[in-house]
Amino acid sequence: MIERSTPDSGEGPATRRPPRRVESPPAVRVGDLLGGTYRVRRALGRGGQGEIVLAMDESLGRLVALKWLDSRDAGHLLDEGRHLARSPHPGIVSVYGMGEHAGAPFLVLEYMRGGDLRRWSSLFTDLPPVDHIVRRVVEVAHALEALHRAGLVHRDVKPENVLLAELDGHAKLADLGLSRRAGYEPSHRIHGTLEFMAPEVLRGETEAPARDVFALAVMTYLLLTGEVPWPIENRRNGDGPRRLHDAQIADPAPRASAHRPELCSAFDDALLAGLALDAAERPGPLAFAWGLEDALSFCASPRWRVLVVDDDPDFRALAAVSLQGELPRVEVSEAQTAAEAL
């Protein structure tokens, strides 16, 4: 949503330069003063619902992000502002207020210097370390848990909507423009980002928090492997939703451990729980994230080797099965005699 570029120096008003246009929103230039308070610095990027610019709040001496929508979409912007204001949480980007310029409204948001998770993941030579990814997922899960407790469904969880305070800082959930009350009956049009949609969303069912958990699991898989579980190529004539739904039903999600040898089946199982096709079988956001944490610790724990020595092969087999059932990380070997064991 917000891309980090060259850091801003100083906290005073912007240095005056010859006027140049900010690519978007229209009619806003670098150096413009909006609402008598916000001096435009530069364009930041585009969010799912609109354009974003960096500005200096000259009354308080702090940098802020201004999110600007076409006046036709003012309702979405107002919804986002209200949802942010009613759901204050350390893991959700703060809203400072609203303003208007040339008849078009804008939100005044907390400026997140570190950019979004997709950019963060691109900074690594290969893929981000698993423990770093899990830490981000836990942070987002806390924010989603708070949002769900407030009765809201985000509806667009993806790397671009998770922002970092600094490059390696705390992750915060952003872009609540599509969020709706749980139980909301969607219209014939589905909302969100296709690759992150759960099967029930593609079928047009009532909005529920479980769709956010599914999207969080897809995001986790993407950060771990560099691809989504069900990639849809060459979409034609709006057939993407149908093709994605068919793929989800026909093919189980691949195991992340196939891409990351440091992972084990316990982590695969924890991740696949969030990708369950039946919404009722998915854990809540924090249960999902904590499951990943526990599984990662389990995968990193050392393996124990146990040798079962007995001259009865049936007893040896029973003991081996029992040990492996109780202690999955145990590697069991068998020997008939002590001499053979040595």
pLDDT in tens, 286-323: 999 999 999 999 888 766 677 888 888 888 788 877 77
d(CA 67, CA 2): 10
Poorest-confidence range of 48-52, 69-73, 285-289, 316-320? 69-73
Query: Does the pLDDT of residue 21 top 60, yes or no?
Result: no
- 10 Å CB burial of residue 77 (0-12, 13-18, 19+) is buried
What's the pLDDT tens digit per position in 205-252? Answer: 888 999 999 999 999 999 999 999 999 876 666 788 899 999 999 998
Query: Does the pLDDT of residue 332 top 90, yes or no?
Result: no
Q: Write down how long the chain is.
A: 342
- pTM for the model: 0.77
Question: Mean pLDDT score of the chain, rounded to an integer?
Answer: 81
Q: Specify the higher pLDDT residue, 118 or 84.
A: 118
The segment with the largest mean pLDDT, out of 13-22, 35-44, 54-63, is 54-63
The per-residue pLDDT for 1 is 32
Query: Does the pLDDT of residue 46 top 80, yes or no?
Result: no
Query: Does the pLDDT of residue 75 top 60, yes or no?
Result: no
The per-residue pLDDT for 199 is 94
The per-residue pLDDT for 138 is 97
What's the pLDDT tens digit per position in 124-161? Answer: 989 999 999 999 999 999 999 998 988 888 989 999 99
Of the chain, the percentage scoring pLDDT greater than 90 comes to: 42
Q: Which two tokens stand for residue 90?
A: 């350390």
Query: Does the pLDDT of residue 8 top 60, yes or no?
Result: no
The per-residue pLDDT for 127 is 93
User: Known catalytic residues?
Assistant: 155
Query: Does the pLDDT of residue 83 top 90, yes or no?
Result: no
The segment with the largest mean pLDDT, out of 167-171, 267-271, 321-325, is 267-271
The per-residue pLDDT for 105 is 78
What's the pLDDT tens digit per position in 172-198? Answer: 998 876 767 776 666 666 778 899 999
The per-residue pLDDT for 334 is 79
**DSSP symbol at 182:** T
Contact (CB, 8 A) for 66 and 34? yes
- Residues 54-75: what's their mean pLDDT? 80
- Residues 50-70: what's their mean pLDDT? 86
Query: Does the pLDDT of residue 82 top 80, yes or no?
Result: no
